[in-house]
Amino acid sequence: MTDLEIILRNEMVKYLVQKTILCPGTGEVLDVRTCIILNDAEGDPVAVLSPTGWARITPENREVFAERGITVDDRQGA
């Protein structure tokens, strides 16, 4: 991934956090530094959750995400 792609991706994630504000699963305020990012089949960010919200997603639903090509990024290591 080039520097420009990294910058664009980070801005897309920041936009999603600003647009969503609260985790849809828990109601917690989202933080761009720690959010869990859901990516579409092409690898583009499409949704964000709090770490607690992601932990509440059942393994069955995670399998459905994987079947549909949705991948997950954990920003806590970023």
- Tell me the per-residue pLDDT of 32-61, one tens digit each, with 9 for 90 and over: 999 999 999 999 999 999 999 999 999 999
Give the count of beta carbons closer than 10 Å to the beta carbon of residue 78.
11
Region of 11 please: left (phi>0), alpha (psi -120 to 50) or beta: alpha
> pTM of the full predicted structure?
0.88
β-bridge mates for residue 29, sequence order: 22
Per cent of the chain over pLDDT 90 is 92
| Number of domains observed in the structure of the chain | 1
| Interatomic CA distance for residues 40 and 70, integer angstroms | 5
Q: Does residue 2 carry a pLDDT above 70?
A: yes
Q: Which domain holds residue 46?
A: 3-77
What is the sign, positive or negative, of the torsion defined by CA atoms of 29, 51, 17, 61? negative
Q: Does residue 78 carry a pLDDT above 90?
A: no
